[in-house]
Structures are given as C-alpha cells and as structure tokens.
Structure 1
Amino acid sequence: MRVRIAICDPLPVFRRGVQALLRDAGIDAEAPDDLLAWLRDEQQKMVILTVRTPGDWTLLDELRRAHEDTLVIAILDEASVSSHVRALTTGAIAAIPRDATARTMREAFVAALDGQALVPLRVLRALTSLPHAVQDPATPTEVERAWLRRLAEGTTVNELASHAGYSERMMYRLLRELYTKIGVSSRVEALLRARDAGWLQ
C-alpha cells in the first residue's frame, strides 16, 4: 500500500530540501497548505512535522488523537533527550534533530515506512525509565497540562484557542475530550482534579 507523505515546516526552503532528499531516495513527498484537510481521506499517511512552538506540540498531540494511524516524524530544533522523549510520548514515531545529516533523515524515513523506528540509545533508556504513571492513558499530556494551567490562571477558552492555534470551537471540543479523558464533566471539576493530581505545577 502506498503511503502519502507530507512535510509541515514554516520554512519553504527547508520543505523543498526535505522533498529533494526524499526524492533522491525514490520517495515522493507533498507540502500541503492545510495539513488537517490533507489528512481527511483514508489512505495511509506519514507527516514530517517540525515541532518548535507550543502550537506545534499541540498539533502533534492532536494528530495522535484524531489520526492515530498517521505516522508522524518530529523534526526538533533542540536535540535533547527530553525533547526526543516528549515528541515520542506525545505521538511521534521518531524524532530527528533539525540539523541531522541527510543520511540520518533518510534512514529514519525508510525505517518508518518499513514499520520500524530508529531511536537513539540514550532516548530509549530515558523512555524505558519513565514511571508507569506517565503512560497511564488517563493522565493528560504535557500540552493538556499546559491548557489546564492556563485555565487555572484565568485564561478564557478564546484566548487559549488563539494561543494554541485553534478555532474557539475546536478548543472547546479538545477540552471536552480532555475532561472525559480525566473523568470529569466540567472545567471546574477538571481544575480541581488537576490541582489534586499536581498537574498545575
């Protein structure tokens, strides 16, 4: 089955560079203007997503939840172990530093297309040492905790949506999903639960 590949990066030069790199390996990639619209059909997809801003982390998390069959490779500005772990636990199948060599990028893409993931040993060790609570599906992601913190500080849903790069309607939907995930039915209950669980710190 053919996999469609999209590159999502704010810099046209970087997008074209990655497209050329993949083309040299015999892999075609697209650079859609509207990534979420591009994802709507049923064909298997891979997204190469640059993760730099809070909105990018939110998008990565949304891709995991709304398009769980989509393979996401995160391109990271900061190549630290913590940023790799965050990308992988937020939904990426691989994370590559933005300044990675062409060979490293090609190997990661080919491995992902083959159903494999290349993970640096130091990142693998960090992942395997995570406490089990982090992997609890009822525990909010770091992005979701940031939303709860902002709500606790008095941020309106409209302001939160603007900051996260969503419409207000989409933000309400994401918050409803979060409330369901943590077992509550309202913002007040969510903030009380977050306070008791230590998610607001």
Structure 2
Amino acid sequence: MPVDVLAEERRVHEDQAMILRVAVVDPLPMFRHGMMAVITAAGYGAEEIDDAVSWAAVPERRIVVLTVQTLADWTELDAICRGSAGNGVIAVLDRPEPAAYVRALRAGAVAAIPRESPPEALRAVLNAAAAGQSLIPTDALRGLTEPESDTDADRSPSPDEVAWLRQLARGDSVAEVAGRSGYSERMMFRLLRELYARLGKRNRTEALIHAQERGWL
C-alpha cells in the first residue's frame, strides 16, 4: 500500500479520535433528536445514552447536554458533575431564571442555556465549552459574584424549614413531616403554605424545584 494512502488513513483515524463526543439527555425524543442534529451539524459526535453518570465518568473528553426540569434532573446534574472526570455538562434549563443558572454553574456545569434557545445559541455554547470557555448571561454572572441581597436573605428558609423541604423532596408525607416536627398535620399544611408563599412559589413542586436550584436540598 502506498505511503501516502497509509498517511491518509492515519489522518482519518486521528480526526475521528479527536471528534468531541456529546451526549444528549432530554425526555422528549423529538427535542432530543433536534439537539443531536444541531450538534452533528456543528462537527461533533452526538449520542443518545441510558446512563449519563457512567458515560461522563469515562476519562475521555466528553460533554453531556442535560435538560433540567425536575428535582431528579438536578440530582443527576450533581452526580454527573461530581464524577465526570473533568468532562463538561451543559445544563438546558426549562426555567432559565438567574438562580437556576447559578445553581447549575455552582454544581459544576460548564454552561447553561434556556431550553427554548435557537440552534445557533446551542452551537455557540457548545463551541465555547469545547474550547474550554463558557458563555454566561450577565445576570447569572452577577449572581455568582454578588453577595446574597437582603431581600433574598429575608426569603430564605430557616434550618427547620429546610429540613421540612428535604423531607418532602425525599418523598415523605406532610403527616410524617408534622409528626417529626411536633405539629399537627393541619398546622404543618399551614406552615408549608406560608413557606411556599414567602418563597414566591404557588405549590410544593415549585418550592422544591426552587430549593434545589438554591442548593438548599
């Protein structure tokens, strides 16, 4: 076989080895496949995976694009970042509030992006991550660098209230939380409603997602 053919084959294998592998984790197949098409068009290797934590733990340069909508998603984000062997996570936020950006970045994500972003925004964030950089909105950057405001401090739950939220997040009933706290079930419902209102949330689900974003759970 001619030397130039061998050299060309070697170059092709090297180029394939250099392609950054990007896993997409999203509950909707159509949305997931759309992101994979954008990623592939940008020159990266897009994949669907079953276990993002194990996939990211491989000591090879990889990026996970993870949609974060529920408490379980935030837990998965934390787990990926803790065991990712230096690989990156881009959080796709269903609720792109500054606090959600800050929560994702503090957990270890290299970037975050709203779920309704156009394809070019995803490409820009992915290209930056591949280059070892991060595109961060100004509000999120400010949230990372500024101390907590007095208003936020006033709305933060007490240690007891954090304990209630943690118990609810793990699946305990209001009756069980009330029993451990020494309140009647009726009183606990009232205290929790007051807590949700103080946090600016309409119900338990919104309050728990907010608590997870804030790092209270």
The alignment's TM-score, normalised by the length of structure 1, stands at 0.64
- Map residues 40-51 of structure 1 onto 2, 5 A cutoff: 40-51=57-68
What residue identity is the alignment partner of 1:127?
L
Q: Provide, for residues 24-66 of structure 1, a one-character-per-residue CA deviation record: whole Å limited to 9, x for no partner.
A: 2122210112223323432111000001110110111111212
Contact 1:75 1:96 in 2 (8 A): yes
- Size of the aligned set, in residue pairs, is 146
Match of 1:39 in 2: 56
CA displacement at 1:70 relative to structure 2: 1.7
- Map residues 100-179 of structure 1 onto 2, 5 A cutoff: 100-130=117-147, 149-150=166-167, 155=172
Q: What SS class does the counterpart of residue 47 from structure 2 fall into?
A: coil
Q: What SS class does the counterpart of residue 96 from structure 1 fall into?
A: strand
When residues 148 and 68 of structure 1 are mapped into structure 2, their CA distance, relative to the original with a 3 A threshold, is farther
Rg larger for: 2
Match of 1:14 in 2: 31
Runs (4+) off by over 4 Å: 145-148
For residue 3 of structure 1, the aligned residue among 20, 30, 38 is 20
Contact 2:24 2:48 in 1 (8 A): yes
When residues 54 and 149 of structure 1 are mapped into structure 2, their CA distance, relative to the original with a 3 A threshold, is same
For residue 94 of structure 1, the aligned residue among 95, 105, 111 is 111
Match of 1:74 in 2: 91
Give 1 or 2: higher helix fraction.
Answer: 2
Return 5+ residue gaps in structure 2 as ranges: 1-17, 149-161, 173-214
Match of 1:60 in 2: 77
Q: Provide, for residues 113-160 of structure 1, a one-character-per-residue CA deviation record: whole Å limited to 9, x for no partner.
A: 0000000111111111146xxxxxxxxxxxxx7798319x995xxxxx
CA distance in 1, matches of 2:140, 2:171: 36
The alignment's TM-score, normalised by the length of structure 2, stands at 0.60
Quote the RMSD (CA, aligned, Å).
Answer: 2.9
Q: Percent identity?
A: 43
